[in-house]
Structure 1
């Protein structure tokens, strides 16, 4: 029978991984001239000439601000302050507003398109930084970015949010986040992270406008983005929010299952909360179709039914949080056992105990994926740091009776 000693050991391991494995790695990647180096590959070779992406740098700002708030660690708070000053100086477009997609290694603008996914992460980070420092510039910049998304991304003739524009808010041909995506005008991924950013902003700037936008977006997930038949989310949509794909992303399903419920909790509408609670329970259980006997969660199912069984670092992190939410909010204590088993998998297979941070993934044959970076445009400290912080926050509130597990050393 699981007891409090198991929860205590898990908490200690998560705190240790955050403070002694993940965050020190990123502190070492800070550029003395400002910001963070754009890439470090799997062999620990630094590539200082690589461009610096908005997503990575917004996530770094969020991570150190959130870690500083949770731990009181002054080193994290100082890192967040330096990153805030550098980020707002080099990524906020002084002429048209919004955020550049990337800058060069010398901090000059590189790709100046406006990808609303990146702007949403900037809101997420700036809101967190405001909670740490009460710096009015951070809050006002986050509010400005909220208004930019509402003005230039929200579909005022239909539903949802468009993906991207040119620097000066004109239509753009290629709206994709990456070359792996369909070039569709609306995506689940961008909607999910706008919801995430708006939820954090709502904690510090609660107005009729911010409540309406966040609640409307959450209802779109409940009614449209989550498929009523399969309980999985659609990934790509057309202008009219009609689904244009049939793939399943187990990682995004489990991530959304807790981000949506978090949003409903912050919004505070009881009816919307209860509706979202039911949708997210089904969504999380559908995501667990990808759960493997070793405790890990595989990546996705392709449109043709083939499974991509790569074990990505971020999918494991979100799986642990999603399972923790099932245990806490959905009265499923057995889900905590699954979370613990996934953590055991992460410790044994994903954490780089020699150099710090986590590997990108384990390939289907079980080997470490050394083709992808340890730090880069998409490889960041946000998923794994947030897993540690959020799970530590939720664990004291979970009823642990009926759950069985022994953490492996």
Structure 2
């Protein structure tokens, strides 16, 4: 059963964990890595994506809780992000800095720029700080000037520090080395949607709409209703896995971006897409209500249950219930939440496990915090469900873009 009180409590648990265990008292910002026993590695590199996601989480949480401590943690992340990750010479953000805050991996991965913009816009909304909006606007200008493909549309994946081409642009070792990817476009879209809510600029609106059309024209497979993940520069697809987590995440993010633009035709189309993507994602459901990670081209499942996939399943399936009225989707959302409660919450040490194997044992060698593990997916899921389970007199879905 989906109850607001449960999500309120879990949000408090997540925020408490990150406020207690992850701030780096010696070198500032937040530790780059904590292991599964909450032991920090004080010498680990610090990631721009991790700091941006912490910033977004505490800024968005402050919008819900109005707890000054949450705004203070957001300010800590904001100060570190703007001091150490913004590149003053060439624009954009570094991928990593070392534990002392010195530039380490200085490539310009558009995924990291998108998350930084997203977080800065949310922090501006929470704090009213004009400088945060200025940084977000500067990142928007940089993305458009350096990454946007004016000839064919869409955004290129990565560049060197000085925006020269790279021999390899993949986001991670498991990703295809493709110049245009669904994942990066999805997070540019959510960043632009959030920025538009605090800065309704006509050029930003045009580019946000173009991103939605890129999904309609390229990323959404009209036959299977799954997402195609990788493309060459000319939008030729590169066959790869089906990512059930991205299907269910995009199901609600695309719809909310359409709501942000408030164009009736787009809202109608992406309302339908929300249901189609959720239904396609449900093909990855296991009998226990969890969502498997991926399906390889040969029909082989990666059956590990990753934390972020289950978090997105709660929201994506519940959103499909809201827009369609089909109670089956509500039940799928409740099933994902029940699985999380039973198997992913580390009740002894706090936070969520990275994931569990098919036998429900924790996935070995994974972190509680790191370049990828952060409070964004699970914290955001709690905030979204609190908004969606609010009493009827609360504001309707408002296209948070989060």
Q: In the TM superposition, what are the counterparts of 1:19-34 in structure 2 within 5 Å?
A: 19=12, 21-28=13-20, 29-32=22-25, 33-34=27-28
- Measured in 2, the distance between the counterparts of 1:253 and 1:262 equals 15
Conserved? CA contact 1:234–1:248, under 8 Å: yes
Matched, 1:382 2:382: no
Conserved? CA contact 2:4–2:390, under 8 Å: no
Number of equivalences: 390
Conserved? CA contact 1:326–1:333, under 8 Å: no
Deviations 1:1-46 (A, max 9, x none): xxxxx65xx2111111110x21111112101242000101113221
Q: Which residue of 2 aligns with 1:156?
A: 150
RMSD: 1.1
- Measured in 1, the distance between the counterparts of 2:323 and 2:124 equals 28
Deviations 1:379-403 (A, max 9, x none): 00000000000011012378xxxxx
Q: Which residue of 1 aligns with 2:7?
A: 14
Q: Which residue of 2 aligns with 1:295?
A: 289
Q: In the TM superposition, what are the counterparts of 1:97-176 in structure 2 within 5 Å?
A: 97-176=91-170
* The 10-residue stretch of structure 1 (310-319 or 340-349) with the greater mean CA deviation from structure 2: 340-349
| TM-score w.r.t. length of structure 1 | 0.93
Shift of 1:195: 0.4
Deviations 1:206-240 (A, max 9, x none): 11101000000011101210000110000110001
- Measured in 2, the distance between the counterparts of 1:393 and 1:222 equals 27
- Measured in 1, the distance between the counterparts of 2:259 and 2:39 equals 43
Q: Which residue of 1 aligns with 2:399?
A: none
Deviations 1:158-191 (A, max 9, x none): 1211000011111111101111111111100000
Corresponding residue to 1:41 among 10, 29, 35: 35
State the SS of the aligned residue for 1:156.
Answer: coil
Matched, 1:239 2:241: no
Shift of 1:316: 0.2
Corresponding residue to 2:367 among 369, 373, 377: 373
* The 10-residue stretch of structure 1 (279-288 or 316-325) with the greater mean CA deviation from structure 2: 279-288
Shift of 1:283: 1.1
State the SS of the aligned residue for 1:358.
Answer: coil
Matched, 1:329 2:323: yes
Matched, 1:359 2:330: no
Q: Which residue of 1 aligns with 2:193?
A: 199
Deviations 1:290-318 (A, max 9, x none): 11221111101012211111100000000
* The 10-residue stretch of structure 1 (290-299 or 256-265) with the greater mean CA deviation from structure 2: 290-299
Matched, 1:65 2:59: yes
Q: Which residue of 1 aligns with 2:333?
A: 339
- Measured in 2, the distance between the counterparts of 1:139 and 1:133 equals 10
Corresponding residue to 2:267 among 269, 273, 277: 273
Conserved? CA contact 1:324–1:395, under 8 Å: no
State the SS of the aligned residue for 2:198.
Answer: coil
For structure 2, list consecutive stretches of 5 or more residues without a partner in the other structure. Answer: 393-402
Deviations 1:237-290 (A, max 9, x none): 000111111320000000000000010000111111111111221111101101
Conserved? CA contact 1:159–1:241, under 8 Å: no
Q: Which residue of 2 aligns with 1:249?
A: 243
Shift of 1:111: 0.6
Q: Which residue of 2 aligns with 1:220?
A: 214
- Measured in 1, the distance between the counterparts of 2:291 and 2:154 equals 29
Deviations 1:339-358 (A, max 9, x none): 11211110110011111100
Shift of 1:87: 1.1
Shift of 1:366: 2.1
Q: Which runs of 4+ in 1 moved over 6 A?
A: none
State the SS of the aligned residue for 1:227.
Answer: coil
* The 10-residue stretch of structure 1 (92-101 or 358-367) with the greater mean CA deviation from structure 2: 358-367
